[in-house]
Amino acid sequence: MVTPPGPCSRAPVGFFSTFSRGGNLQDVALNQYFKDLAPLKPLSRGDETELAEQIRRGSVRARDKLVLANLRFVVKVAREYENRGLSLADLISAGNLGLVTAVERFDGTRGFKFISYAVWWIRQAIRQSLSQDVRTIRIPVNRTALLAKINKTDQVYQQVDEHSPAPDTLAEALGVTREMVQETLELGRKVRSLDAPVSEGEDYGLLQFLPDQSQIPQDEKIAEDSARKVIRQVLDTIDLRESEVLRLYFGIDQDAPMTLEQIGKRYNLTRERIRQIKEKALTKLQHPTRRGKLHTILRDTEFSGSESVQEDR
């Protein structure tokens, strides 16, 4: 049985190395990872609330326990994004980072199931990873170094002979085979050709015509746009400063969420003062009318089929 990680305990294979060393699950057999997750049991709503309070007080063990209880849900979400450019292992690794963010920000006193809250952070982390990775043409590290040497040697020859040397000449000068030089030059040409203008006088390349594999499915995008609209409407009913703090803290209409310290610096206020404003704003959202609208969003957008991962709590 895998136990929640404490100072001497063991998390599922490769999980916490994802965060401590910035690695991914490629180094771990996914089948073994799934086996390690199998014994983990879902938490009750009361357990979530209690753990959230312990996390607020700084308990690392409570944070890890809440994370571990929801790792199987991350796998379920990650499978939605397969075949878009990243391996399942990379998708899970990104989703786990989103899960940790959700755990650290979750407030169990607000009456929402943790999964309903966490799914947004998990999907956001996965999409961000997709947008950064899927359209990148990768050149092996050893070939990148060789390409740099080839370009430098080519420049030297051009200064002397006013023309580029033949592949055989480059191979002899660098101590590699002719085939290796040709393959490396071809890799370099592929990368450059994607960014090159499609025709004279144009300032855009073929890269801009490639399908964006990180594009959000249309039905999901419609649902999220609708949810954002409702959230904006609800936030517009409270004090402007309180609304702005919540938008920044939760990353609403922002590139990324901000910490209390970062928000405090923006407004020249202490972290504690920003926390008080945040708590006051969240309390106002408990008004029956506002709360009803937010609950509607969660019911409409909650991950379908999540019961197969975690029983209803």
Contacts of 207 (CB under 8 A, 6+ apart): 135, 194, 195
Rounded to two decimals, the pTM is: 0.47
Residue 306 reports pLDDT greater than 60: no
Is the CB of residue 216 less than 8 Å from the CB of residue 131? no
Is the CB of residue 70 less than 8 Å from the CB of residue 99? yes
Report residue 87 CA to chain centroid gap: 14
User: CA-CA distances (angstroms) from residue 246 to 176, 227, 267?
Assistant: 58, 16, 13
Residue 295 reports pLDDT greater than 70: no
Q: Over the stretch 122-140, which tens digit does the pLDDT of each residue have?
A: 998 898 888 775 445 555 6
DSSP-derived secondary structure for 108-136: GGG---HHHHHHHHHHHHHHHHHHHHTTP
Higher pLDDT, 63 or 185: 63
Q: What is the pLDDT of residue 234?
A: 83
Is the CB of residue 171 less than 8 Å from the CB of residue 181? yes
Task: Give the whole-angstrom CA distance, residue 171 versus residue 14.
Answer: 42
Q: What is the pLDDT of residue 186?
A: 76
Q: Over the stretch 210-236, which tens digit does the pLDDT of each residue have?
A: 444 445 555 555 556 666 777 888 888
Average pLDDT over residues 109-116: 81
Residue 157 reports pLDDT greater than 70: yes
Tell me which amino acid residue 230 is.
V
Higher pLDDT, 255 or 247: 247
User: CA-CA distances (angstroms) from residue 40 to 35, 155, 255?
Assistant: 10, 60, 33
Q: What is the pLDDT of residue 25?
A: 42
Residue 197 three-state SS:
strand
Q: Which two tokens stand for residue 63?
A: 């944070």
Mutual orientation of helices 30-37 and 71-79 as an angle, nearest 10°? 130
Long-range own/partner contacts, residues 4-9 (CB < 8 A, 24 or more apart): 4/61, 4/64, 4/65, 4/68, 5/61, 5/64, 5/68, 6/61, 6/64
User: CA-CA distances (angstroms) from residue 289 to 116, 145, 229, 279?
Assistant: 19, 61, 16, 18
Q: What is the mean pLDDT of the chain?
A: 72
Higher pLDDT, 254 or 223: 254
- According to DSSP, residue 86 is labeled S
